[in-house]
Chains A and B, each alone.
Chain A
Amino acid sequence: MIKVFVPRDAAALSVGADEVAAAIANEAKKQNKDVQIVRNGSRGMLYLEPLVEVETAKGRVAYGPVSAKDVAELFKAGFLEGKSHKLGHGLTEEIPYFKSQERLTFARCGITDPLSIDDYRKHGGFDGLSKALKMKPIDIVTEVTTSGLRGRGGAGFPTGIKWKTVHDLPAGEKYVACNADEGDSGTYADRMLMEGDPFCLIEGMTIAAVAGGATKGYIYIRSEYPHSVKVLREAIEIARKANWLGENIQGSQYSFDLFVRTGAGAYICGEETSMLESLEGKRGVIRYKPPIPAIEGLFGKPTIINNVMSFAAVPIILAKGGEFYRDFGVGRSRGTLAFQLAGNIKRGGLVEKAFGVTTRQLIEEWGGGTRTGRPVRAVQVGGPLGAYLPTSKLDVPMDYEEFAKVDAMVGHGGVVVFDDTVDMAKQARFAMEFCAIESCGKCTPCRIGSVRGVEVIDKIIGDIDRDKNVELLEDLCVTMTDGSLCAMGGLTPMPVMSSLRGFPEDFGKPAPNKFLADAAE
């Protein structure tokens, strides 16, 4: 029997993976070949999707992007024996895009059948949790602290400290909540992991539960990810049956159960307190902090809240030790980050690398430049609230602190590329428009500031009192940054100001004024 892999990842499905799988099954039947089709996750080389792999004695051989109409020809060329074809790329593991990565969190993604617990175990799955079940909770926390893992949702808060806060509180009703409301444009790592290796997230959350003393957990998935919702619900059911969730996990003293909740199309619910409100069945209006959610979180109880990527990094940290993970990265940014190449890019996809890689390397070495072939002009790193970097800033290493120094942020690792046709005044306007649409409405700087921001930028574009309005926009941005309750209003000025400072010519200001010139230096 020959194993053929066709991804079930939503991105692969979006370019016809289901049709390709059906065509292969059909053709195999016609030719009387014994073929088993495995619906794996994506390898992350999304520009090659649907990427079909065939298992051979030498390893898995890749073909892509395959469309249903290529299938008959592939059979003719002998792809079931791994023979060459114009869509062939040789051994998957040898493709430079893939080979040059440092896959820790995504080590299994695309290799295993996402819903096979045997596959998961065979590839090191549940090693971390098995170890954790035999450890003292405080030692788990120490291991995570040692690893230097910081919140992968974007804020970069040390995960170990968060867990310790919950651990140190008296025993009682506690929760683990996973933020899978991946709303940032240009990011899809959470989705890929949930669809390609859901047990990894389940394992990470269970380790967190053991460390913090929680017995119940929720995964809050945005409604735009119906495939992830489905896969995770199935995975949880399978894990329950195998006693990796539920009462006395694997005969230990620990019990933990997990539930999936679906969002309803609100970007703000990616803010942790807003997510808690939403999990409680309320409007996703943010909460004041303090109290921090680690102390008073879901239903007013201590709650460990982390992003999908943070939880998914934990199993390998426990399995191989905090020091192993810490040895990747630079400065205070330890470990790896799943960078996501998006927008106008030739070879879009997921690149897991240790911190320290530069934006330019990612775009040129992996991404291969723009899809349109035109020169890169601006790159937005870290989602819609991240800065637009001009090409002069593309050599800053990916590192939380180094990015902060140039008024930018790494965020969730999204890298959105724009070519030289982009109008940065339009992008700045959109940042304000987006904030106006998605603001929860609790605080004035965000709710009203964003609406005024759109109006002021419109005046600048329309050359109405341009200098005065530029000054007003700067002032408004300071108010929003300093006066907003959460990162939504607080960071919206980042794309706006970075556009204004990095690309003043798009705002009809060929010569930057003194304030801008000073700031630029």
Chain B
Amino acid sequence: MAKKVARPNKKPPEAESRPPTPAEIAALATCERYGNKADELLEILHDLQHQLGYIPEETLPVIGRALNRSRAEVHGVVTFYHDFKRHPIGKHVVKICRAESCQAVGTDELCRHAEQSLNTRLGGTTGDGSITIEQVFCLGNCALSPAVMVDEKLYGMVDPKRFDEIVAGLNKEAAE
């Protein structure tokens, strides 16, 4: 394995002159909670995204410094994985499985229905910022396809009618 060369990962001059933003403070605290260990980067990013809703650009150098990685390396990880968002997304994330098993029982129709009823494309967010719909490849519920996951709750046998019920549930929850 190539020897790791310690590289200077200095704070940019503008960062010296301003107080850290709340996101930067959160990033630093999160890294510390994981012992500032570079191999925990994915867990750190999951955790941070859970707190902030996405991974703000300004946190990348902070994380890099804490883990002794370059900003480019952290950027590389954030952009490689589908889970990490670089911009704010909807309050709820509705993931619709588009893989083969769900295709066999009509996920294409379900995706079209979702796009039309929520008036946004897969990967987009509704106008009121409440729901982001995403495509995903396999939720491991293939005997009960089509599958949908809302935040961390899994649904099986989702046809357009059931999809509407799920969305109505989210909207109702938001109204309360």
Please report A residues at the B interface, Cβ cutoff 8 Å.
Answer: 10-11, 13-15, 46-47, 49, 182-188, 190-191, 223-227, 261-267, 278-285, 296, 299-300, 340-345, 348-350, 371-372, 380, 384, 414, 416-419, 422, 427, 430, 434, 437-438
Q: Establish whether residues A266 and B143, one from each chain, have CB atoms under 8 Å apart when the complex forms.
A: no
Question: Which residues does chain B contribute within 8 Å of A182, judged by CB atoms?
Answer: 138, 140
Interface class of chain B by DSSP? mixed
Q: Establish whether residues A371 and B105, one from each chain, have CB atoms under 8 Å apart when the complex forms.
A: yes
B51 CB, min distance to chain A CBs, angstroms: 16
B70 CB, min distance to chain A CBs, angstroms: 12
Q: Other CB < 8 Å A-B pairs besides A226-B152, A264-B42, A266-B81, 9 of them?
A: A15-B144, A46-B144, A186-B138, A224-B138, A264-B46, A281-B38, A283-B76, A284-B80, A342-B142
Which 4 residue pairs are nearest across A and B when measured between Cβ atoms?
A: A348-B143, A281-B41, A185-B99, A342-B142
Chain B window 62-73, contacts with chain A (Cβ cutoff 8 Å), 1 for yes, 0 for no: 000001000001
B155 within 8 A of A: yes
Minimal Cβ-Cβ distance residue in B for A190: B140
Minimal Cβ-Cβ distance residue in B for A284: B80
Question: Which residues does chain B contribute within 8 Å of A191, judged by CB atoms?
Answer: 140
Which of B39, B95, B104 is the one whose CB lies under 8 Å from A281? B39
Which of B73, B83, B152 is the one whose CB lies under 8 Å from A265? B83
Chain B window 94-115, contacts with chain A (Cβ cutoff 8 Å), 1 for yes, 0 for no: 0101011111110000000000
B62 CB, min distance to chain A CBs, angstroms: 16
Minimal Cβ-Cβ distance residue in A for B139: A224
Question: Which residues does chain A contribute within 8 Å of B82, judged by CB atoms?
Answer: 264-266
Instruction: Give the one of B43, B77, B149, B154 with max A CB within 10 A.
Output: B154
B26 within 8 A of A: no
Q: Establish whether residues B140 and A188, one from each chain, have CB atoms under 8 Å apart when the complex forms.
A: yes
B40 within 8 A of A: yes
Question: Which residues does chain A contribute within 8 Å of B43, judged by CB atoms?
Answer: 261-262
Which of B73, B81, B136, B147 is the one whose CB lies under 8 Å from A264? B81
Tell me the count of chain B residues lying within 8 A, CB to CB, of chain A. Answer: 46
Minimal Cβ-Cβ distance residue in B for A228: B140
Question: Which residues does chain A contribute within 8 Å of B46, judged by CB atoms?
Answer: 223, 262, 264
Q: Establish whether residues B42 and A10, one from each chain, have CB atoms under 8 Å apart when the complex forms.
A: no
Question: Which residues does chain A contribute within 8 Å of B143, judged by CB atoms?
Answer: 11, 46-47, 188, 340-342, 345, 348-350
Question: Which residues does chain A contribute within 8 Å of B30, judged by CB atoms?
Answer: none
9 A-B contact pairs sorted by A residue (CB < 8 Å): A14-B154, A14-B157, A46-B143, A47-B144, A266-B81, A282-B41, A282-B77, A341-B143, A384-B100
Whether A14 touches B147, Cβ cut-off 8 Å, given contacts A188-B140, A344-B104, A348-B142, is yes
CA distance A261 to B40 in the complex (A): 8
Chain B window 135-174, contacts with chain A (Cβ cutoff 8 Å), 1 for yes, 0 for no: 0111111111101010011111100000000000000000
Minimal Cβ-Cβ distance residue in A for B76: A283
Whether A185 touches B144, Cβ cut-off 8 Å, given contacts A226-B152, A281-B77, is no
Q: Establish whether residues B145 and A342, one from each chain, have CB atoms under 8 Å apart when the complex forms.
A: yes
Q: Establish whether residues B42 and A263, one from each chain, have CB atoms under 8 Å apart when the complex forms.
A: yes
Which of A11, A223, A227 is the one whose CB lies under 8 Å from B156? A11
Which of B73, B83, B153 is the one whose CB lies under 8 Å from A282? B73
B5 within 8 A of A: no
Q: Establish whether residues A224 and B140, one from each chain, have CB atoms under 8 Å apart when the complex forms.
A: yes
Q: Establish whether residues B100 and A11, one from each chain, have CB atoms under 8 Å apart when the complex forms.
A: no
Q: Establish whether residues B42 and A49, one from each chain, have CB atoms under 8 Å apart when the complex forms.
A: no
B54 within 8 A of A: no
CA distance A282 to B155 in the complex (A): 31
B45 within 8 A of A: yes
Instruction: Give the one of B39, B43, B143 with max A CB within 10 A.
Output: B143
Question: Which residues does chain A contribute within 8 Å of B157, judged by CB atoms?
Answer: 14-15
CA distance A437 to B137 in the complex (A): 10
A380 CB, min distance to chain B CBs, angstroms: 6
Chain B window 32-62, contacts with chain A (Cβ cutoff 8 Å), 1 for yes, 0 for no: 0000011111110110000000000000000
CA distance A299 to B4 in the complex (A): 12
Q: Establish whether residues B101 and A342, one from each chain, have CB atoms under 8 Å apart when the complex forms.
A: yes
Q: Establish whether residues A343 and B104, one from each chain, have CB atoms under 8 Å apart when the complex forms.
A: yes
Instruction: Give the one of B138, B140, B142 with max A CB within 10 A.
Output: B140
Minimal Cβ-Cβ distance residue in A for B108: A426
CA distance A108 to B142 in the complex (A): 22
CA distance A81 to B37 in the complex (A): 55
Question: Which residues does chain B contribute within 8 Å of A15, judged by CB atoms?
Answer: 144, 155-157
CA distance A111 to B70 in the complex (A): 49
Question: Which residues does chain B contribute within 8 Å of A434, judged by CB atoms?
Answer: 99, 137
CA distance A445 to B43 in the complex (A): 32
Which of A13, A264, A422 is the one whose CB lies under 8 Å from B83? A264
B2 CB, min distance to chain A CBs, angstroms: 10
Question: Which residues does chain A contribute within 8 Å of B102, judged by CB atoms?
Answer: 185
CA distance A241 to B103 in the complex (A): 44
Question: Which residues does chain B contribute within 8 Å of A417, judged by CB atoms?
Answer: 104
Q: Establish whether residues A188 and B105, one from each chain, have CB atoms under 8 Å apart when the complex forms.
A: no
B1 within 8 A of A: yes
A352 CB, min distance to chain B CBs, angstroms: 14
Q: Establish whether residues B83 and A49, one from each chain, have CB atoms under 8 Å apart when the complex forms.
A: no
Question: Which residues does chain B contribute within 8 Å of A224, judged by CB atoms?
Answer: 95, 136, 138-140, 149
Question: Which residues does chain A contribute within 8 Å of B145, judged by CB atoms?
Answer: 342-343, 348
CA distance A283 to B149 in the complex (A): 25
Question: Which residues does chain A contribute within 8 Å of B154, judged by CB atoms?
Answer: 10-11, 13-14, 227
Whether A49 touches B138, Cβ cut-off 8 Å, given contacts A13-B154, A279-B39, A430-B100, is no
